[in-house]
Amino acid sequence: MSHDHNSAKFETATYALLPVMLMVFIEMCLNHFFAPQNAIFISPYLLAFFICVIISFIVLWKGQICPGQKGRLTFVLPFLLVFALGNFLYTLGFTPKHSPMLIPMSASLFLPFIYWKLPDDEKLHNTMIFCGLAIASIGIIQYLAIYWYELPSLFNGIRANNFAQLLLGVLLAGWYLVLAKSRLEGFLKLLVLLALVALVFNYLWTAFVLYQQLQIMPEMLIYPYFIFFGVQFVIFAMLAWLLLAKNIKNPTAWTVATFLAMLYPFTNIL
């Protein structure tokens, strides 16, 4: 029995590591091979990370979950540290230094430790959650300030697309809830509906940016955008499957939608 329990924990840990390791790998490869030389690196996933963290904190704060569900959730969520640490080390060690990015990156490093240290006392538990929400909010504000105010560009409008990151953050949070065998079916349905809204805005924003780029570079290749829209349609199909099939915890649909949502930065390979 102990062997089976350890095997199950190892399998869960492996699945929990997959998305965060893939996110670090994708952003490093794309920045190394396709970004302009000496360009300031803005992670295409950091906002999604904060969205996932905030949703997870809300579940741990307001979700009607038993100790078993809470234990499973607080087992898988600390693996988010792998992305935070990987992104921090890569940005600091292999890209041009940009001091303002230290604030959101430092916030991302601190947040996963809260899952490990959540106390059982309700008052202290809620205080830790509030601190986590405040830190994540500071990280988001600083990230968006860099994105929109300090380094704005139409190119970044696709590379670090806010709506694509919102979609990924929502899906990633739902994916971890399913992995932790959460029984919050109503909340998962709400996440699917939120993901659908983000998907629609993602379509509209990408079409707007594409139109703007075509005004500047009429000869640019547009087939990557058609692939992007095709991938988004598959994500839409997975979300519709979750809602219409009445199995909101379908692991296949969550996995396909989440991992396809990670591919949006490839639109920049023109």
| pTM given for the model | 0.94
pLDDT tens-digit map of 135-149? 999 999 999 998 888
pLDDT in tens, 205-242: 888 888 887 888 888 778 888 888 999 999 999 999 99
Residues near 132 by Cβ (< 8 Å), separated by ≥ 6? 53, 57, 111, 114
| Average pLDDT over the chain, rounded to an integer | 89
Mean pLDDT of 36-40: 81
pLDDT given for residue 34 in this prediction: 83
178-202 average pLDDT score: 95
Contact between 161 and 205 (Cβ < 8 Å): yes
Q: What is the pLDDT of residue 15?
A: 94
Question: Considering only CA atoms, which of 220, 208, 98, 103 is closest in space to residue 157?
Answer: 208
Torsion of CA 249, 253, 255, 258, to 10 degrees: -100
Query: Residue 127 has what pLDDT?
Result: 94
Poorest-confidence range of 171-175, 235-239, 243-247?
Answer: 243-247
Question: For position 134, what pLDDT does the model report?
Answer: 97
What is the per-residue pLDDT for 159? 61
Q: Return the pLDDT at 47.
A: 95
Per-residue model confidence (pLDDT) at position 225: 84
Confidence at residue 3, expressed as pLDDT on a 0 to 100 scale: 55
